[in-house]
Structure formats: structure tokens, C-alpha cells
Amino acid sequence: MSVATGLYGVSFGALSVAAGLSLPQTMALSLLMFSGGSQFAFVGVLGAGGAAGAAIATAGLLGVRNGLYGPQVAPLLHARGWRRPLAAQLTIDESTAVATAQRDPAAGRVGFWWTGVGVFVMWNLFTLGGAVVGDALGDPRRYGLDAAAAAAFLALVWPRVTGPGARLAQLVAAGAVLVALAVTPFVPAGVPVLLAAIVAIVAGMLVRGPATTDREETDEAGDAEPDETTAGSADRPDPEGTP
């Protein structure tokens, strides 16, 4: 997993320098941000001419999910002292998936650290290689790198909208596309991505609302007093004589 994820870092390194970032800036993103989806979104917005604020907001929005992994892995790792910020830095999709997939807590801890460190090392090594190669390519449009950021991000999202039970995800994606296309001619680069994200937020609120209401109604029905018919039948013995 570390090698496969690391190889993907080649494309990020090349795309980053094609978007106008220097080699040190590219490496800083992989070393400090260390979140593939957020990194691709960041350089994609900058490469399209978007403002730094829009790039930061887009990357931050996509990076929220990493914070949600913390409650899953923290009870497993019991990290203290200097290990705690290190564990936070290494809490990514891959390390969380490997750690939580293990039945044995000790194996989960080993899986987390090996996967997290492995992906971190390989991702940064291949980012460096991609940045060096991309810087030597010259004009990125000759090789299609100006459109590769969108293609790479689509590759990240695609498995989540094509699997079983992904109908809602497909509807949300379609709505986000329509919003982005509608506002693109009128707003700066990067802003359409942020506005499209509102589609997912609204969809989540609409889905959560009815589901919560249904659960509350079910709980109230369960706590309701039994009616006379039910109470009477419960007090009567059955035909077999069992109370």
C-alpha cells in the first residue's frame, strides 16, 4: 500500500510545479499537509488561476475527514508524549483503514505505524521525483498536465460514486457538477468548488433530518403505553395454558 500510494505522489509533484509552485513549496505541501486529496485540490485551484484563499479553503474542506479519523484510532494507539503529534500527522485514509481492519488491537497498532510511516516516506520521495521531472518538462500543456489535476481528483472520488449503494453519492455529485458549471463564468477560480461542496452539506442535512425524525418516532412508539387490546391479551393465558 505504501508503494502504490507513493507512486501516486509522482503525479502530484509534477502537477505542483506545473501549477507554478517551486520545488521547496511542493515538498512543504507533502511534508506538512500530507493529504493527497487536499494537496491535489490546492494545486488544482492555483493552477486554474484561483486565489490563495480559495485554494486554502478548498484544501481545508477536503482535509476535514482526516480529523474524523482521530476518534477511531486514538483509543487504539494510546499515543502519549511525542508520539501523539506524530500519530496525528500519520492519521490518513490508508493508516486508518489498515489499523481499524485488524481484530487484534496490537496488530492494529502495528498496522497503523507501518502504514503511516511507509506512506509518508514513499509519498515524499515520489513527490520529489515528480517535481524534479515536472520542472524539466517545460510547458505542462504539451503533456496534458494542465488538465491532470482534475483527472487525478476524479480518480480519487470515482470509487466512492460507483460502488454498491452509491446512488445518493451519484445524485450529490451530479448536483455539485451543475452548481459548479452554473457559477464558473461568474466567480473566480476555486470558488465553484467551494459552492459545489454546499450541495453535499445540504444533502447531508436533508438525509439526516428525515432519518433522525424516523428514529425519534420509532423510539416514542416503543416507549408508548400498551393499548387495552394488547394489555388484555398479554394478561390472558394462551390456549396451551402457559401464562
Judge if 77 and 192 occupy the same domain: no
How many C-beta neighbours within 10 Å does residue 214 have? 10
Which comes out higher in pLDDT, residue 175 or 237?
Answer: 175
Mean pLDDT of 132-159: 70
Judge if 22 and 52 occupy the same domain: yes
Task: Write down the pLDDT at residue 58.
Answer: 83
The rounded percent of the chain whose pLDDT value lies above 90 is 30
Task: Write down the pLDDT at residue 74.
Answer: 93
- DSSP result, 58-97: HHHHHHHHHHHHHHHHHHHH---TTHHHHHHHT-SHHHHH
Instruction: Round to the nearest angstrom and report the end-to-end CA distance of the chain.
Output: 61
Judge if 69 and 186 occupy the same domain: no
Task: Write down the pLDDT at residue 87.
Answer: 95
Structural domain boundaries, residue 16: 1-158
Judge if 141 and 96 occupy the same domain: yes
Task: Write down the pLDDT at residue 141.
Answer: 64
- Which pLDDT band, with edges at 50, 70 and 90, does 29 fall under? very high
Residue 94 identity? E
Judge if 19 and 50 occupy the same domain: yes
Which comes out higher in pLDDT, residue 225 or 167?
Answer: 167
pTM summary value: 0.68
Longest CA pairwise span in the chain (Å):
91
Write out pLDDT tens, residues 33-67: 999 888 988 998 888 788 888 889 888 888 888 88
Who's near 97: CB < 8 A, 6+ residues apart? none
Judge if 142 and 68 occupy the same domain: yes
Q: For 141, which DSSP code?
A: G
Three cell numbers, residue 28: 512543504
Judge if 87 and 46 occupy the same domain: yes
Judge if 126 and 27 occupy the same domain: yes
10 Å CB burial of residue 58 (0-12, 13-18, 19+) is: buried
Judge if 140 and 173 occupy the same domain: no
Q: Is residue 220 part of a domain?
A: yes
Whether the per-residue pLDDT at 149 is higher than 70: the answer is no
Which comes out higher in pLDDT, residue 71 or 207?
Answer: 71
Q: Is residue 128 part of a domain?
A: yes
Residue 145 backbone dihedrals phi, psi, to 5 degrees: -70, -20
Q: Is residue 230 part of a domain?
A: no
Write out pLDDT tens, residues 64-107: 888 889 998 999 999 999 999 999 999 998 999 899 999 999 99
Whether the per-residue pLDDT at 235 is higher than 50: the answer is no
Q: Is residue 31 part of a domain?
A: yes
Judge if 173 and 120 occupy the same domain: no
Q: Of 158, 180, 215, which one is at a domain's C-terminal end?
A: 158
Task: Write down the pLDDT at residue 241.
Answer: 46
Q: Is residue 194 part of a domain?
A: yes
Residue 80 backbone dihedrals phi, psi, to 5 degrees: -130, 160
Q: For residue 193, give the H/E element and its range.
A: helix 191-223
Judge if 14 and 116 occupy the same domain: yes
Which comes out higher in pLDDT, residue 99 or 237?
Answer: 99
How many C-beta neighbours within 10 Å does residue 125 have? 15
Give CA–CA dist 163/203, Å, rounded: 19
Residues 7 and 126: beta-carbon distance below 8 Å: yes
Give CA–CA dist 149/41, Å, rounded: 8
Mean pLDDT of 159-176: 80
Structural Rg of the chain based on CA atoms: 25
Which comes out higher in pLDDT, residue 98 or 165?
Answer: 98
Q: Is residue 234 part of a domain?
A: no
Q: Which residue has the cell 445518493?
A: 168
Q: Is residue 28 part of a domain?
A: yes
Q: Is residue 92 part of a domain?
A: yes
